Amino acid sequence: VMSGGEPLGEQMLGWARDHLGVTVNEIYGQTEANLLVGNCASAWPVRPGSMGLPYPGHDVAVLDEGGEPAAPGCTGEIALRCPDPVAFLGYYGQPEATAEKVRDGWLRTGDLGSVDDDGWLWFAARADDVINSAGYRIGPAEIEGCLLGHPAVATAAVIGVPDDIRGQVVKAFVVLSAGHEPSAGLERSIREHVRRRLAAYEYPREIEFVTELPLTTTGKIRRVALRELHRSAQR
Q: Tens of pLDDT along 134-161?
A: 989 898 988 999 999 999 999 999 999 9
Dihedral of alpha carbons 134, 137, 140, 143, sign:
negative
Task: Give me the pLDDT at residue 213, please.
Answer: 96
**Number of residues assigned to the chain:** 235
160 forms beta bridges with: 170
Task: Give me the pLDDT at residue 127, please.
Answer: 83
144 touches 10 (CB < 8 A): no
pLDDT of residue 235 exceeding 90: no
Residue range 185-210: mean pLDDT, rounded: 96
* Residue of 119 and 5 predicted with greater confidence: 119
Q: Distances from the Cα of 127 to the Cαs of 111, 130, 138, 139, 208, in angstroms?
A: 5, 6, 10, 9, 24
With a pLDDT cut of 90, the percent of the chain lying above it is: 74
pLDDT confidence band for 60 (50 / 70 / 90): very high
Task: Give me the pLDDT at residue 11, please.
Answer: 77
Task: Give me the pLDDT at residue 14, please.
Answer: 86
134 touches 166 (CB < 8 A): yes
Task: Give me the pLDDT at residue 46, please.
Answer: 84
Residue range 218-226: mean pLDDT, rounded: 89
pLDDT of residue 5 exceeding 90: no
For 41-67, b/e burial (b = at least 16 CB within 10 A) is eeeeebeebbbbbbbeebebbbbeeee
Q: Please give the CATH architecture assigned to the domain spanning 2-127.
A: Roll (2.30)
How much is the mean pLDDT over the chain? 93
Task: Give me the pLDDT at residue 128, please.
Answer: 83
Residue range 57-64: mean pLDDT, rounded: 96
32 touches 40 (CB < 8 A): no
Phi, psi of 234 (to 5 degrees): -85, -15
- Look at domain 130-234 and name its CATH class: alpha beta
Task: Give me the pLDDT at residue 169, please.
Answer: 96
pLDDT of residue 49 exceeding 90: no
**E strand or H helix at 36, and its extent?**
strand 33-38
Domain with CATH 3.30.300.30 in the chain: 130-234
Task: Give me the pLDDT at residue 208, please.
Answer: 97
Task: Give me the pLDDT at residue 218, please.
Answer: 77
pLDDT confidence band for 176 (50 / 70 / 90): very high
pLDDT of residue 106 exceeding 90: yes
175 forms beta bridges with: 155
Write the CB contacts of 44 (distance below 8 Å, at least 6 apart in sequence): 53
pLDDT confidence band for 177 (50 / 70 / 90): very high
133 touches 139 (CB < 8 A): no
Domain with CATH 2.30.38.10 in the chain: 2-127
173 touches 226 (CB < 8 A): yes
126 touches 113 (CB < 8 A): no
pLDDT confidence band for 44 (50 / 70 / 90): confident
Phi, psi of 198 (to 5 degrees): -120, 180
